[in-house]
Structure 1
Amino acid sequence: MISLVRYLAADVLRGQRYLAPLLVFLGVLGMLFSSDAGQPLEAYSGSAALLYPITAWTAVVVATSEDVVRREITVVSAGGWSRVLTAAALVAVIFALVMALVAAVWPVVTNPHPYTVGEFFAGLGAHAACALLGVGVGLLFARPVFDSIGRTVLAVFSVVVLTFPLGRVTPLGWVLDALGHNRMTPSVLWAGVVGAALVSAAVVVGARRA
């Protein structure tokens, strides 16, 4: 599995399609924290909200990095769709968690308000939860669930756009509400659990659809 993860990660990096979401992510982070973003946890709400669509986008990039023929060869060589999808999910989660770490560290360096260790780790946990939610949404509608990249993009975009107006009805809303009120609640942990469940469900559904 480790060699498969390394192969898929190298393939994504070689393809360079990850640069588009990465540059958007870094550019918006730079704008968010270019001045005083507010109290520590409250300041994290913007970057956590940003991380959700960006990691969904990145997950789609990971899931579609190989063309159809190459992916079939990888599936045969790896021993089945389940192993390939699990490896792809791990790659997407790793990329997402790295971005979550960057988003959590950025305001600690640039924000004039001092951060305690507890606030930093609370913010990191909130970002990780949003990152997992994004990866889960991205993978649920990517290949092999949807073979068409157009359908994948439309489905992921629709879900992401519809999530925000629903507010506290969604796990993402739980996290943003907690950050917006400058406090942490158990709902943030539950949002992370839901995100991990979505990632696992994407692997199971994808393997059945393949």
Structure 2
Amino acid sequence: MIALVRYLAVDLLRSQRYLPPLLLHCAVLGMMFSGDAGDALFAYAGSCALIYPVAAWFGVVVATTEDPIQRTVTAVTAGGWGRVAVAQALLAAVGVVVLSVIATVWPVVTNPHPYSLAEVGLGAVAHLVCGFTGVGVGMLCSRPVIGRAGPSLLAVVAVVAVTFKVGQATPVGAVLGGLAHRDLGALPVAAVAAVLLVAVSAVAAWRLGPRRA
């Protein structure tokens, strides 16, 4: 499995399709935290709202770096569509960790006043929850679940927009609401829901991949 993840990662790096979401992430963080970001939970609320759509974009990138023919060859060589789907999910998770570390550390470095270790830890978990939710949405709205680029893009945009509208009923909404009200008691449940969403996206890719190859 590690070798398969490494292969997909090399293919992703070679394609350079990860660069637009990564650069957007860094550019917006640079604007958000160019001055005093203020209170830690307030600052992290903004970057958590950012990482969700960026991670959704990254999920689409991970799911579509290989074209359908190349993905079929990879599945046959790797021993099945299920292994490829799991490797995709793991690669997307690694990307979320990178995005989360950047978003968590940035205000710590740029702010004139320190954040406590507990605040930084909560911020890291909050970013991971929003990031995992994003990649789950992105992968569910991509091949092989949605085969065409246009409908896939519309689906991602629609889901992200609806998520921000429905409030705390989603993992992202629970995190943002918790940060705003300084009550993160729902964070463990949101974390489980986010991981389950990524797992569902992997299962969907596994089950639908052979049918739509």
Q: What TM-score do the two structures reach when normalised by structure 2?
A: 0.95
Mapping for residues 1-210 of structure 1, pairs under 5 Å: 1-181=1-181, 183-210=182-209
Q: Is the 8 A contact 2:178 2:185 kept in 1?
A: no
1:126-148 CA distance string (max 9 Å, x none): 01110111011111121111111
For 2:35 and 2:183, the matched residues in 1 are separated by: 24
Query: Which secondary structure state, in structure 1, belongs to the residue aligned with residue 186 of structure 2?
Result: helix
Report the aligned-residue RMSD.
1.0
Per the TM alignment, residue 186 of structure 1 is displaced from its structure 2 partner at its CA by 2.3
Q: Is the 8 A contact 1:40 1:113 kept in 2?
A: no
Q: Which amino acid in 2 is paired with 1:61?
A: V
For 2:112 and 2:161, the matched residues in 1 are separated by: 32
1:45-71 CA distance string (max 9 Å, x none): 000000000001001101100112111
Per the TM alignment, residue 116 of structure 1 is displaced from its structure 2 partner at its CA by 0.7
Count of residues in Structure 1 that have an aligned counterpart in Structure 2: 209
Query: Which secondary structure state, in structure 2, belongs to the residue aligned with residue 36 of structure 1?
Result: coil
Q: Is the 8 A contact 1:145 1:205 kept in 2?
A: yes
For 1:184 and 1:125, the matched residues in 2 are separated by: 14
Greater alpha carbon shift after TM alignment, 35-44 vs 23-32: 35-44
In percent, how many aligned pairs have the same letter? 52
For 1:164 and 1:113, the matched residues in 2 are separated by: 30
Q: Which amino acid in 2 is paired with 1:97?
A: V
Q: Is the 8 A contact 1:96 1:132 kept in 2?
A: yes
Q: What TM-score do the two structures reach when normalised by structure 1?
A: 0.96
For 1:165 and 1:38, the matched residues in 2 are separated by: 26
Per the TM alignment, residue 112 of structure 1 is displaced from its structure 2 partner at its CA by 2.1
Q: Is the 8 A contact 1:39 1:113 kept in 2?
A: no
For 2:24 and 2:41, the matched residues in 1 are separated by: 22
Structure 1 gaps of 5+ residues are: none
Q: Which amino acid in 1 is paired with 2:143?
A: R
